Amino acid sequence: MPEAALKWRSWNDEFVVYNDLTGDTHRLDAVAARVLQELSRHPATLDEVVSRLSADLGVEPDDELRTWAATALNLFRRLDLVESFVARGNGPS
């Protein structure tokens, strides 16, 4: 599968992103946008995303955070915003 080419704009900590591959435009809040931006630079596993989020936000890497991250990553994948994320922690593809 070809890689998505993403374009970003933001106002007041809210983000819109354009996916040149699909032609779709999406709106994201600051945390989701941060995750997506990082993923598009360096593919990562769910565990890696959770631990980085936990560090950045200063929260515990608990089940709630993990669930949120998994949902977000699945959504990105379904929307073809990231291709190389692997849900089961098998390392970047």
Partner 1 sequence: MDATSPGVGPGTLDALAAEGIHRRFRETGVALVTGPFVSEVRATVPRFVDDFCLLYADYPVHEKADFADFHVSVEPIRGPRGWFRSLAVVRLDDRSPFPPLSADQALPMFEWGLNWAIVNTAYQYLIIHAAAIERNGRAAILPAPPGSGKSTLCAGLVHRGWRLLSDEQALVSLDEPAITALARPVSLKNESIDVIRTFAEEAVIGCEVSETNKGTVALMKAPRDSVLRKSEPARPAWVIFPRYAAGSAAQLTPRSKADTFLHIGNNAFNYSIHGTRGFDALARVIDGCDCYDFAYGDLDEAVEVFAALADAS
Partner 2 sequence: MTAPDGARPSTQASDLVPSVLRRPERAPGLDLRTWDLLVRQARRAGLLARLCLRLEENGLLDSVPERPRLHLEGARTLAAKQARDTRWEVACIHRALAEIDTPVLLLKGAAYAMARLPAARGRTYTDIDVMVPKDRIGLVEETLQRHGWVPADLDTYDQHYYRDWTHQIPPMHNLQRGSVIDVHHTIVPLTARVKPDAQSLLDAARPVTGLGGLRVLAPPDMVLHSAVHLFNEGEFDRGLRDLSDLDELLRHFGSDSAFWPTLVTRARDLDLSRVLYYALRYTVAVLATPVPADAIRAAAAGQPGSATRALMDAFFLRALRPTHQTARDPLTGLALWLLFVRSHYLRMPLHILVPHLVRKAVRRRTATGDRP
Q: Which of 6, 16, 18, 21 lies at the binding interface for partner 2 (CB under 8 A)?
A: 21
Q: Is 2 in the site for partner 2 (CB under 8 A)?
A: yes
- Mask of contacts with partner 1, 24-63, x by CB under 8 A? -xxx------------------------------------
* Beta strands 25-29; 6-11: pairing state: unpaired
Q: Is 18 in the site for partner 1 (CB under 8 A)?
A: yes
Q: Is 14 in the site for partner 1 (CB under 8 A)?
A: yes
50, 60 Cβ separation under 8 angstroms:
no
Beta bridge partners of 6: 19
83, 4 Cβ separation under 8 angstroms:
yes
CA distance 66 to 51: 9
| Chain positions contacting partner 1, by CB under 8 A | 7, 9-12, 14-16, 18, 20, 23, 25-27
